[in-house]
Structure 1
Amino acid sequence: MEEPKGLGISHDNNTTLDLDDRECPAGWVRVRIEDSWFTVERDFLMRHSDYFRALFHSGMRESQQDKLQLKGGVSARGFLIALAVCRGENPPLVHPDELVDAVECAAFLQVAPLVRHLCDIIDSDNCLLLYQAAAMFGVHQLFHNAALFLCDAFDDLKEVAESTIPEELIEYSQTLSPASYVAIGHHTPSIELLNDSFRVVCFLDEKQGEWKHLTDLPTLCSTSRAGVAVLDNRLYIVGGVYGYLKDTVDSSHCYDPESGIWTTLPGPQQPRCDFTMFGHEGHLYAIGGEVQNKFISSAERYDTSKGEWTFIQHAPRPVTSAACAIARRRMFVCFWKPPDTTDIYEYVPSDDQWTLTTTMIRSQSYGHCMVSHRDNLYVMRNGPRDDFLRCLMDCYNITTGQWTAMPGLYINSKGSLFTATIRGDSAFTVKHMLTLEYTITSDGWKPRRQMKGFAKNGSLWACLLRLPKTGPVTPHVDEEGREVEISFPDSDGGFPEAMQPL
C-alpha cells in the first residue's frame, strides 16, 4: 500500500501510517481506512474528533477494541489531512480532490480543527468548491464562511459562480451583508455642547466611491493614541488620551453595527496609550504602549464573554504603536529596532509565549504597517531619508519562511500608504485625500480603482464591518409572530441528512 499522493505531510509520535496489520501498543488504536492502516493515540483522536470521543466513551464493543475499520464517509487521504492539521501542520491543499476529501472527513469524524483550517484557507481559487462541498456534507461553519467570502468577492466570481454552483447557493450568499470598509477619525473627548465634526465613524460607499456617515463616536470616547480593533463584527475602541495633560482614558467602547448601539466596557488594568490592539477568537489583545512617557512591554487580554482583562506574557521588549496582523489564525507583531531592523514575533495564546518568527533588515525612515493575505504578511514602510514619499513593501510567507521584496508603490504628497485593510483579494489604502483599491497578485499589488479620501485631519484607522443592508436587523417572524430560523441549503435546497457513525 502506498501513502496517498500529493500531500507534504509528516508523521510524528502521535501517528504512524503502516503497510500491514501489525500489533497495536497500549493506549493506541489501529484505524483501517480503505487499504491504509493508521496507528494513532486514543487520546489524540478523542481530543480532536467528536466522532472518536463519542465512540470511545459509548461503552459499545468497538470502544474497547484496538482495531477499527471505517467504511465509507472518509478516505485515507482525508484522514491523513485531518491528522496533519490536528498536529498543527499546514498541509498544502491545492487539488480539488484533496479539498473534497478534507471536507468529507471533517463532517464524518467531526474534526473541529480541520473545519477551522478549511475556513482559514478559503480564497478566490477554492471558494466555490468549498462552498458546494460544505453544503453537500453539512459542515455549517465552513458553509457560512464560504458564503461570506463569495458575498464579498461576488463581482469577481460572479461569472464562474453562475456557471458552476446551484442558484440557491448564490441566492443564499447574496442575502448576507458584505464586509464594508469603515474609517474612524481623530477625536478626543469634549463637552457635548461642542459639535465636533471629527467625532464620526464613516463607511465607504463603493458604488458612489465616497465615504458616508455611519455613527458618531461617544462623547467620552477617544481615538487619540487609542487601540482600535474589530472582533466578532463589533468595533472596539480602547484607551486613548484626553485633555491638555494627555491623561489616559480608563474606559473602552464597543459599537454593534446590527443594533447601532455603543456600550461602555472596562479599560485595561494597566492604563496605556499608543499600544497595539487586535481581536482574535473571542479576545482583545493590548500589547505594550506608553505610560507616563515611558515605553512598556506589559500585555493584557480581554475576554469578551467574561468582561475581564487579565495580564499575559510580556512582549519581548517595550514597544509602542507596533504593526500587527493575523494570518492563518496566527498573531504576528512587528518590533522595530531603529534604524534598520524589524523583528516579527508570534504570540501563541495556548502557550502564552512569544516566539521570534523572522527578522527583516531594510533601510527605512519612519513607521510601517502590516497586513495579511492568505499565508503572506505584507510589511509596508516609507522610503529612507529623502525618499520618504515612496512606499516600500516586503512580503513574508509564513509557510515557506521566505522574504520577497515587492515592487515599490510611488505616491505624492497627499499622504502615505500606512492605513491598509484586506478584503478577499483586494487591498484598500485610505488617506485623507485618496482611497485606493489594489488587486493582490503574486507579483505585487496592482492598482484597481480610485475613490475619495477620508477628509478628516489627524490620525485615522480603517477596518471592516458587516453592516445591515436596511438598518438594524430584526428577527424573521412567521404569521403568528414566532421567530423563524434560516437554514443552510444543500445542493437540493435543504439540509443534508446527518451522517451516522459506521
Structure 2
Amino acid sequence: MAVCGDHVDHGGDQGCSRVDHGGDQGCGRVDHGGDQGCSRCGRVDHGGDQGCSRCGRVDHGGDQGCSRCGRVDHGGDQGCSRVDHGGDQGCSRVDHGGDQGCSRCGRVDHGGDQGCSRCGRVDHGGERVTVVVEDTSFSAEKSLLVHHCGYFQALFRSGMRESRRGQVHLRNLCARSFLLAMHVFQGERPLILDADHIQETVECAAFLQAASLTKHLTDLLDSHNCLLMFHSAAAFGLADLSHAAALFIRDMYQELEAEVSETLPPELASQVRSLSPSVLVAVGAHAPCTAGDTAASRTLCYLDEEEDVWKVLTNLPPQASTSMAGVTVLDNKLYVVGGVQGIQKQPMDLCFCYSVEDNVWSTIACPAQLRYNFPLIGLDGRLLAIGGESKHASMSSVETFHVRTGKWTFSARLPRPAAGAACTKTLGRVFVCLWKPMETTEIFEYSSGREEWSPVATLVRRQSYGHCLVGHRDRLYVVRNGPSDDFLRCLLDCYSLSSGQWTALPGHFPNSKGSLFTAVVRGDSVLTLSRSGTQEYWVQDTTWRPRGQKKGFPRSGSLCTFLLRLPSAV
C-alpha cells in the first residue's frame, strides 16, 4: 500500500481524496488522462453525462455544467441540479441555452407566482403588475411582491376581482415608502434619515406584512430613531421591531431616560424598564481539562457596572477550549466553536452552546473542516466561521451553521486565505479585513444572497495594517498599529458606507494588553477591556471620546468579550 503524506492511502487503481494517478477512477485533485477529472475537486466516479458525486461539477466535454456549482445531472437542455423545473429553462449561472434564471442567485425552482426559493427575487420574464400609490405607478413582478408581502400573497390567492387585474391601488400609503420597500425587496440597504419617512415606512411594513422590510428597519436602529421606531412599531403592531427597539433603548437608558419619560406613553416606558440590559462578559483563553481537575479560573465573568466588580456567571465545560476558538453570541446564546488543545495546536472536535436563560451548556455539531484562530459571527439565525487555520496553514474556506437545522454548510470562500482576520457586523451586514502587501488593508462584505465576498474599500497606511474592525451605524472603524509595529498606541480610520469616504480619527488610542482588540459595541458606546481597566468610548461619527472607566478583568492573558442579557435571577 502506497502512502502519500496526509493525502493518499490507496492501492491499485483506487483513488484517495488528493491523488494524481492513472486509471479511470478519480481522486480529490486529479486532472488525468482518459476521462478528465472535475476542475473543482477532480473526482471522477461517473460515466456519460452524469455529474461528479462529490461536487457535481463536470467540465469534461459534452454539455457544460453550471458555472456556479458545476453540477450536471441532466441531459439535453435541462438545467443543473439547482434548477428543479422542466423545459428549456436554465438558471443564470448555467452556461447552456434556454431562458435565464434569477439574476441575483440564478436559482429557479418555482412555478406560478412563487419567487426564487433561495433569495425570492425573480426577474426572468415573470408576470408584472402595476401598483399605484398616491399618484405614482410602480411596475413590479408579481412573484417578488408575493414572496415578500403577506398582503399580496393574500390578494393574489383570494380570487377577488382586483387580484385578476393588472393594476393594484394601495391607499393610505406613501409613495416614497413603497419605493424604499421595493429597493429592500431587491436586496438593497437604503438608509432612512427623515423622521417622517421612518414613521411612513413602519406603517408600510405593517400594512404589507413585509418581514424583510421590518428586518431592514431593525438593522437601522440607532440612538436618534429608536424612540420613534419603538412608538410607531407598537402603534402599528410590528412586534419584532417593537421588541428590538425596546432592547436598544434599554441598553442606552442612562442617556435616553429623560426622553423616554417625555416622549413615550407610561406603558411603553414601563415596558422598557422591565427588560434586562446587556452586560459585558469576558472569558480568558483556556484549554480543556479533566472533570476532576477543573481550574478555578475556567469561568465566564460579567461586569456588574453598578458595583464596579466582576462576578462569575458560569464555568466552562471541562471539554471546552476557548484557546484560539471562535466565540460569539446569537439570540442571547453563547457559542464556542473550534479552538485548540496541546502544544501542537490540535484542533478541537467539540463545539458548545450556552443558554444564559437556562444556565445550561450543550454541544452542537462541528464544522466540516476543524479550524482555529478564526472570527465567528452570528447573524439572522446563522453562525459564520470565517477562514482560520488548520494544520498550521491559513484557510480561505467559510462555513455556515444553521441554528434551526443544527447543520453546517460551506459558503463562499474568502478571496484569499486569512487567519485571525478582523471581522464585524453592522446594519445587518458582515465585513472582514484582509491584508495585502504592501501596507494594504482591504475590506470585503459577505453577501449570503449571491454567495460571494464583494470588495468594499481599501486602506493604505505606511507600516500599518487593520487588526480590529468595529461597526457602528453606517461606519466601519479600522483599528491599526502605529508606525514601526507600535501596538501600544494605535490609530483609527473611519470608512463611511454611505459616502464611501475615509476619515482619520485624531490622536492615538492606548492599547494596553491589546484592549482595543476586545472592542464590543453597545448602543453608541464601544467597550474595551484589559487587566488594567474597562474603557468606554462614546462614538460620534469621526470621534471616539473616552467616557468612563470601570474595573479591569482580574486575570491575565488574551480575552474574548461579548454582550449578554442576564435573567433577573442572576
Q: Provide TM-score, normalisation by structure 1.
A: 0.85
d(CA) in 2 for partners of 1:198, 1:35: 66
- Counterpart mapping for 1:27-106 below 5 A: 27-72=127-172, 74-106=173-205
Match 2:454 to one of 349, 355, 370: 355
- Aligned residue type for 1:51: Y
> SS in structure 1 opposite 2:454?
strand
Identity %: 48
- Aligned residue type for 1:445: W
1:350 CA displacement: 1.6
- Counterpart mapping for 1:107-146 below 5 A: 107-146=206-245
Change (3 A) 1:271 1:416: same
1:365 CA displacement: 5.2
Match 1:403 to one of 481, 489, 502: 502
Whether contact under 8 Å (1:381, 1:418) holds in the other structure is no
Change (3 A) 1:131 1:42: same
Number of residue-to-residue matches in the alignment: 448
- Counterpart mapping for 1:466-477 below 5 A: 466-471=565-570
> SS in structure 2 opposite 1:439?
strand
Change (3 A) 1:412 1:101: closer
d(CA) in 1 for partners of 2:506, 2:394: 34
d(CA) in 1 for partners of 2:507, 2:519: 15
- Counterpart mapping for 1:269-284 below 5 A: 269-284=368-383
Match of 1:333 in 2: 432
Change (3 A) 1:278 1:26: closer
Structure 1 vs Structure 2 CA RMSD: 2.0
1:386 CA displacement: 6.0
Q: Provide TM-score, normalisation by structure 2.
A: 0.76
Q: Which has the higher contact order (CA 8 A, sep 6+)?
A: 1
CA deviation digits over 1:444-483, x for unaligned, max 9?
Answer: 1111110111122221010111111224xxxxxxxxxxxx
> SS in structure 2 opposite 1:417?
helix
Higher CA-based Rg = 2
Task: Point out the more displaced range, 422-431 or 188-197.
Answer: 188-197
Residues 1:319 and 2:418 aligned together: yes
Match of 1:377 in 2: 476
More strand by share: 1
Whether contact under 8 Å (1:365, 1:388) holds in the other structure is no
CA deviation digits over 1:229-276, x for unaligned, max 9?
Answer: 111111111111112322111010111000000011221111111122
Match 1:425 to one of 508, 524, 530: 524
Match of 1:168 in 2: 267
d(CA) in 1 for partners of 2:513, 2:342: 29
- Aligned residue type for 2:374: F
Whether contact under 8 Å (2:475, 2:541) holds in the other structure is no
d(CA) in 1 for partners of 2:336, 2:186: 36
CA deviation digits over 1:353-396, x for unaligned, max 9?
Answer: 11111111113457611111111111112212164311111111
1:68 CA displacement: 2.1
1:413 CA displacement: 4.9
- Counterpart mapping for 1:166-205 below 5 A: 166-205=265-304
d(CA) in 1 for partners of 2:466, 2:459: 14
Instruction: Please list every run of 5 or more consecutive structure 2 residues that lacks an aligned counterpart in the other structure.
Output: 1-102, 105-124
Change (3 A) 1:216 1:448: same
Match of 1:465 in 2: 564
1:409 CA displacement: 3.3
Match of 1:18 in 2: none
d(CA) in 1 for partners of 2:412, 2:344: 30
Residues 1:224 and 2:323 aligned together: yes
Change (3 A) 1:259 1:106: same
Task: Point out the more displaced range, 445-454 or 37-46.
Answer: 37-46
> SS in structure 1 opposite 2:292?
coil
- Aligned residue type for 1:58: S
Residues 1:240 and 2:339 aligned together: yes
CA deviation digits over 1:43-62, x for unaligned, max 9?
Answer: 22212211012101111111
Match of 1:446 in 2: 545
d(CA) in 2 for partners of 1:292, 1:33: 59
- Aligned residue type for 1:417: L
CA deviation digits over 1:115-145, x for unaligned, max 9?
Answer: 1111111111111111111111111111111
Instruction: Please list every run of 5 or more consecutive structure 1 residues that lacks an aligned counterpart in the other structure.
Output: 1-12, 15-24, 472-502
d(CA) in 2 for partners of 1:388, 1:128: 39
Match 2:250 to one of 151, 154, 160: 151
> SS in structure 1 opposite 2:505?
strand
